[in-house]
Chains A and B, each alone.
Chain A
């Protein structure tokens, strides 16, 4: 059995075995006790030739309602934003793509320099002093932020606004179980943080208050007010933000955030059924030594020339082991590279345009959809590119019926909040056209008749 991924021929194998002084490859496996050996071949489907495999996978892919063939109005943490063409070409260069963690900085300046650029751009967008090289996804970034707030403040509770993505809250709960951090929810009856309830809940045990803006329901939160109540109690403010919005929305750092986390998928990373994503993590300078994940810093080489290295590594697991700030080893470097190229390509003007277009289209869509009899906005609070609709019929049924018209109308909220069982979360990015929005409104009117 030969494989195109293995170079050794039988003759070469024999030659190498002769050098080693072994009669066969079996001789090299002597340390594995016979009773531990698998006595049969693995029971796997037979190998497929390249063309057959492509056919098979294309057939699987064809069973998915993707955003190429369907008008995607889905959001809730993953968005169909425009991906400029150069991104795929550049990340596919083998020197980026097949490199590993830049442990040998002299042979990894490409990766290190792009991460340094990424850190700079994320810090700028979020309005924070420092950003790390990235974490798995927005949810695990929030979980790491909660652990960090606990470590910094030595307090045992984290208070989360109900508008924080429910799946992020669940991931945070998983991470907070070990250190026994208590998570407390603040209600959001009007779609945004109930400031009075939050003030009552926050106290001497509170390590951090978490708000997301725009939040899971699409509503913009008053981050500055949240900062005030968190800081008054000596707690940190963690803000969950989508960096692609920060071309036009105020940087959380300027509103008082101590840690900013979020999902950076919108910055040129494909939706890819939810992963890999891009966990954004930024903080104030004084917290840098408690940060999880890799950091790249500028320095000089022996000749005084500028160069870049992984730095402050003593925080990390390979050195601090059980006492590390986090168990994270990888970042999502390739996704961070996509985001870096995205932010460079869109630049100062482009990211603003993305924000303006998304918001304009979302507000137009909200107008058109709420003209359909029985359909209304669930919350009165200002929104940006995403909003919660209340429907007169089961949102799940509506989603099924519109799928037949190649429209993915949004995310039914019943699974996340029983009180919102009649609600549909609708996202509109710059990718959606007026034609698609009008078709959506017309189709909705038809199925609600």
Chain B
């Protein structure tokens, strides 16, 4: 378990969240993309859609698996990564960078504090829970 950046927050469903001023960027972790294998399809919400913490906002697929994407926080979708439907492999190549999924304007920024820290997430993954 190497690749868990310290400046991000994490969910037990293997999404990461990054505060960028009053916005939050969301993606899936290195561990998640590794478990899925080659990502072949990503379905994202429309800009302007509302997402709710711990509820599905989209889907990521590999050849033999489908995984719901869970929102780390509630809020409104400000941006989506429009490149992903054409280039789903970006999720594998750069999960914390170009493979980001959505940017959310949080309705309750406090929710961010309830997420796992990088250390907690690393422990969670190490326990073999997935």
Contact = CB atoms under 8 A, between A and B. Distances in A.
Q: Do any beta carbons of A and B sit within 8 angstroms of each other in the complex?
A: yes
A167 to B, nearest CB: 35
A314 B65 CA distance: 6
Nearest to B68: A323
Contacts of B64: 313-314, 319
Contact of B63 (A313, A320, A323): A313
Q: How large is the interface on B (under 10, 10 to 19, 20 to 34, 35 or more residues)?
A: under 10
Interface residues of A, number: 6
Interface string B22-60: 000000000000000000110100000000000000000
A289 B40 CA distance: 12
Nearest to B64: A319
Contacts, number: 17
Contacts of B66: 314, 319-320, 323
A314 B63 CA distance: 7
B61 interface: yes
Main secondary structure of the interface of B (DSSP, over half): strand
B65 A289 contact: no
Contacts of A314: 40-41, 61-66
Contacts of B40: 314
Contacts of A323: 66
A289 B43 CA distance: 10
A319 B67 CA distance: 10
Contacts of B61: 314
A305 B61 CA distance: 26
B38 to A, nearest CB: 12
A313 B64 CA distance: 7
A49 B37 CA distance: 55
A289 B41 contact: yes
Nearest to B62: A314
Residue of B41, B61, B65 with most chain A CB atoms under a 10 A cut-off: B61
Contacts of A289: 41, 43
B91 to A, nearest CB: 15
A146 B108 CA distance: 40
Interface in A343-381: none
A313 B65 CA distance: 9
A70 to B, nearest CB: 51
Nearest to A319: B66
B83 to A, nearest CB: 18
Given A314-B63, A320-B66, 8 more contacts: A289-B41, A289-B43, A313-B63, A313-B64, A314-B40, A314-B66, A319-B66, A323-B66
Give 10 nearest A-B pairs by CB, closest first. A314-B61, A314-B66, A320-B66, A319-B66, A319-B64, A319-B65, A313-B64, A289-B41, A314-B65, A313-B63
